[in-house]
């Protein structure tokens, strides 16, 4: 008679080999990414509708701006950093003053991250990555080994940091396109675009 | 078993991922089965964990993180999500039915059914600890780090889980004898 520890070690090890096809898994990963983008898009649509309805109901009420906070110790995801082979810094999208008509008021929460294609954005709690549009004057640079996004207020936020700030997703792709720099990688261009700022 | 660090072909993420699936996929599947107690669910969970790992592959490798550790954490968290959506009883029942439909892999079915029944009696935190500690054969320190628990908590949880399993096993032995 096997003891419990033997059962735990031997029974799973004797299971038939699973049918794991790397190609099928890669397809699944890509579909999952696409689904996440659709979910974000649908959520944005609802959010934008709610904002519009709210604005109509509240008239000229002064908007409140969420205070940005950060806590590097809570970062849960692997952080991106430039490799030795590619010294170029990741691409950061900064909104030009003339193009920004409003500061959206949603609470944006996630991890400041660099996408596989080298674009800076926000990875939200459900794992969806959105390209970030930062306020005019935001810069990115290396501080020691850390990749740091510096906001116009002077606050530096290392990539990999859990951040909470204000902003909102640009649901109108045509308008979003006008905010994107010409040299942005095509793969980044197709990502959802989120306005993100910390309080000045 | 955690196993030695794999050497990946960094210049081609797809090839590196294929090596990873081939080398680590079966271990993930074994852990998934012990969490889900159902072969079809286990395969689905394993594929999902691997798919999510692949989505972040470049960043995982760039950050010099162990992809197997990343996949393990993903798997455990996936199981947590699904655990809340379905009953444990139905999962166990499906496993029995599934085994009887596949006579060619019936060897070890009795042990498997017994272990599934014992694991089914554990709470989710107990099962997660037991799976990482015994099914994947990870050291206590690694289990503690991956589940964000203290090492003493891991040891205590393991000890209590094994006690529950041993206690639940006694009536079965008496019935069989």
Q: Tell me the CB-side half-sphere exposure of residue B97, using CA atoms within 13 A.
A: 7
Percent residues over pLDDT 70 in chain A: 68
Residues of B in contact with A22 (CB under 8 A): 14, 17-18, 21-22
Q: Provide the residue ranges of all domains of chain A, joining segments of one domain with +.
A: 4-197
Q: How far does B50 lie from chain A, in Å, by closest CA?
A: 7
- A152, B7, B64, B81, B150 from B74: Cα distances, Å: 36, 22, 17, 11, 20
Work out the angle between the directed axes of helices B109-120 and B151-176 (0-180°, nearest 10): 130
Chain B residues 147-176 with a CB less than 8 Å from chain A: 162, 165-166, 169, 173
**Which of A9-18, B21-30, B56-65, B93-102 bottoms out in mean pLDDT, i.e. has the lowest?**
B93-102
Q: Give the 3-state secondary structure of residue B67.
A: helix
Domain region containing B79: 13-176
More confident: A21 or A73: A21
Give the Cα separation of B10 and A11 in Å (integer): 35
B1 lies in some domain: no
What pLDDT was estimated at residue A42?
Answer: 64
What pLDDT was estimated at residue A74?
Answer: 37
Residues of B in contact with A81 (CB under 8 A): 62-63
Segment A64-110, tens digit of pLDDT: 334 444 444 333 333 333 344 444 678 888 876 655 557 788 888 88
Mean pLDDT of chain B: 77
B46 lies in some domain: yes
Residues of B in contact with A112 (CB under 8 A): none
- A7, A175, B131 from A28: Cα distances, Å: 33, 31, 26
The number of folded domains in chain B is: 1
Q: Do B118 and A9 touch (CB under 8 A)?
A: no
A154 has pLDDT over 80? yes
**ipTM of this predicted structure:** 0.75
What pLDDT was estimated at residue B82?
Answer: 55
**Which of B25-39, B72-86, B104-118 bottoms out in mean pLDDT, i.e. has the lowest?**
B72-86
Mean pLDDT of chain A: 74
Segment A156-177, tens digit of pLDDT: 899 888 888 888 888 777 777 7
B165 lies in some domain: yes
Task: Give me the total of CB pairs closer than 8 Å, taking one residue from chain A and one from chain B.
Answer: 111
Residues of B in contact with A77 (CB under 8 A): 56, 59
Tally of CB atoms within 10 A around B89:
9
| Of A35-39, A124-128, A171-175, B37-41, highest mean pLDDT | B37-41
B87 has pLDDT over 60? no
Please give the span between the terminal C-alpha atoms of chain A, in angstroms, as a whole number: 69
Domain CATH number, residue B160:
1.20.140
**Given pLDDT bands bounded at 50, 70 and 90, which one contains residue B11?**
low
B141 lies in some domain: yes
B47 lies in some domain: yes
Q: Do A29 and B51 touch (CB under 8 A)?
A: yes
Residue (of B148, A179, A182) closest to A192 by Cα position:
A179
Is A39 an 8 Å CB contact of chain B? no
**Given pLDDT bands bounded at 50, 70 and 90, which one contains residue B22?**
very high
Is A32 an 8 Å CB contact of chain B? yes
Give the Cα separation of B120 and B36 in Å (integer): 9
**Given pLDDT bands bounded at 50, 70 and 90, which one contains residue A53?**
low
Which residue in chain B is spatially nearest to A9 when comparing CA positions?
Answer: B135
Q: Quick one: average pLDDT of A17-42?
A: 74
B79 lies in some domain: yes
Residues of A in contact with B38 (CB under 8 A): none
Residue (of A2, A3, A9) closest to B130 by Cα position:
A9
A54 has pLDDT over 70? no
Q: Which of B62, B116, B136, B164 is the best mutation test for A, with the most CBs of A within 10 A? A: B62
B4 lies in some domain: no
**Given pLDDT bands bounded at 50, 70 and 90, which one contains residue A145?**
confident
* Structure-block tokens of residue A93: 């999208």
B172 has pLDDT over 90? no
| Of A2-6, A83-87, B101-105, highest mean pLDDT | A2-6
Chain B residues 61-100 with a CB less than 8 Å from chain A: 62-63, 65, 70
B135 has pLDDT over 70? yes
Give the Cα separation of B166 and B19 in Å (integer): 38
Q: Do A80 and B55 touch (CB under 8 A)?
A: no
What pLDDT was estimated at residue B159?
Answer: 94
Whether B99 contacts A14, CB under 8 Å? no
DSSP A47-90: HHHHHHHHHHHHTTPPPP-PPPEEEGGG--SPPP---TT--SPP
């Amino acid at each position: 008679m096997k003891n419990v520890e033997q059962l735990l070690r031997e029974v799973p090890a004797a299971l038939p080999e699973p049918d794991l096809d790397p190609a099928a898994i890669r397809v699944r990963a890509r579909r999952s990414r696409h689904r996440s983008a659709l979910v974000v898009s649908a959520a944005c649509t609802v959010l934008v509708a709610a904002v519009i309805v709210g604005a109509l109901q509240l008239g000229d009420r002064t908007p409140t701006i969420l205070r940005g906070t950060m806590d590097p110790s809570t970062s849960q995801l692997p952080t991106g950093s430039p490799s030795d082979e590619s010294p170029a810094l990741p691409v950061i999208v900064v909104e030009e003053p003339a193009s920004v008509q409003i500061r959206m008021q949603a609470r944006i929460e996630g991890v400041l991250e660099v996408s596989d294609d080298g674009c800076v954005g926000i990875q939200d709690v459900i794992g969806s990555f959105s390209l970030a549009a930062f306020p005019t004057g935001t810069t990115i640079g290396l501080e020691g080994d850390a990749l740091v996004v510096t906001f116009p207020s002077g606050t530096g936020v290392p990539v990999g940091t859990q951040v909470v700030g204000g902003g909102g997703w640009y649901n109108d792709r045509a308008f979003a396109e006008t905010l994107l720099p010409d040299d942005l990688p095509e793969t980044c261009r197709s990502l959802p675009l989120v306005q993100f700022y910390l309080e000045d | 078993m955690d196993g030695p660090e794999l050497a990946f072909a960094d210049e081609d993420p797809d090839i590196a991922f294929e090596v990873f699936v081939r080398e680590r996929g079966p271990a993930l599947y074994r852990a998934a089965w012990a969490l889900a107690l159902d072969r079809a669910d286990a395969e689905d969970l394993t594929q999902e964990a691997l798919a999510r790992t692949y989505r972040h592959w470049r960043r995982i490798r760039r950050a010099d993180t162990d992809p197997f550790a990343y996949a393990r954490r993903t798997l455990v968290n996936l199981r947590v999500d699904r655990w809340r959506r379905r009953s444990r009883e139905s999962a166990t029942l499906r496993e029995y039915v599934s085994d009887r439909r596949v006579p060619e892999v019936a060897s070890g079915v009795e042990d498997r059914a017994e272990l599934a029944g014992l694991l089914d009696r554990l709470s989710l935190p107990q099962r997660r600890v037991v799976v990482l500690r015994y099914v994947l054969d990870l050291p206590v320190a690694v289990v503690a780090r991956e589940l964000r628990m203290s090492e003493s908590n891991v040891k205590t949880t393991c000890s209590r889980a094994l006690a529950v399993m041993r206690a639940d096993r006694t009536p079965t032995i008496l019935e069989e004898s």
